[in-house]
Amino acid sequence: MTINRLFTTKQLADILGFAPKTLSNQRILGTGLPFIKIGNAVRYKSSDIETYIEENTHDHNGMVKVNSIRVKEEV
């Protein structure tokens, strides 16, 4: 088992350019990134952050780039 680095909500918000409240709202709505909750502490795994960024990377044609494979989004 590989142990991922864990990020706080504030750290992830800084990385993604979101407000921490946005991440909180996404947790409540069940959208956004998977998270870990240990007691009251919310953490995000580095591997999930990398996957999220990959899945939300688009080229100039609106194609999603996933692991260098271009997939056309359904509109």
- pLDDT band of residue 3 (cuts 50, 70, 90) is confident
Tens-digit pLDDT profile for residues 6-25: 999 999 999 999 999 999 99
Give the angle subtended at the CA of 59 by the CAs of 63 and 62, to the nearest 5°: 40
- Domain with 21, as residue range(s), is 6-72
Task: Please tell me whether the overall predicted TM-score, pTM, comes out greater than 0.95 for this model.
Answer: no
d(CA 66, CA 69): 5
Whether residue 27 lies inside any domain: the answer is: yes
- What amino acid is encoded at 72 in this protein? K
Tokens at 75, concatenated: 């509109």
Examine residue 64 and state whether it is found in any structural domain, yes or no: yes
What is the average pLDDT across 46-59? 89
Pairwise CA distance, residues 4 & 45, whole Å: 6
Query: Which of helix, strand or coil describes residue 71?
Result: strand
- Indicate the number of domains in the chain: 1
- Average pLDDT of the chain to the nearest whole number: 85
Residue at 1 is within a domain: no
